[in-house]
Amino acid sequence: MLQTMTLDEKLAISNKACALWATGNKEEASRLIRTAPMPPYLAKIYKEKIGVEPLLKAGYNLSEAEAEFGSDWLSK
């Protein structure tokens, strides 16, 4: 699997999102956490269960799913 972000980058995003959440800035924390790539297996399950449109509308980063399943994955 091709990673579009290092584990350290993902951890930094997670830590910052946790800090935002702890200060009551839950909306910003949620927005920030969606910038980290969603694991491909999870993106695939969500796509099968709810469709791709809600994932895109919510702003989830699907770059690793696209890398693993192909650039046309979203339109299949």
Q: pLDDT at residue 1 above 90?
A: no
**Residues across the chain:** 76
pLDDT band at residue 3 under the 50/70/90 scheme: confident
What pTM does this model have? 0.83
Report the alpha-carbon distance of residue 45 to residue 32 in Å, rounded: 22
Between CA 25 and CA 58, with CA 55 as vertex, the angle to 5 degrees is: 30
Q: Which tens digit of pLDDT belongs to each residue from 23-71?
A: 999 999 999 999 999 999 999 999 999 998 999 999 999 999 999 999 8
| Position 2 in a domain | no
The domain tally of the chain equals 1
Domain residue limits at 38: 7-75
| Position 1 in a domain | no
Structural contact between residues 10 and 63, judged by C-beta atoms closer than 8 angstroms: no
pLDDT band at residue 2 under the 50/70/90 scheme: low
Structural contact between residues 73 and 66, judged by C-beta atoms closer than 8 angstroms: yes
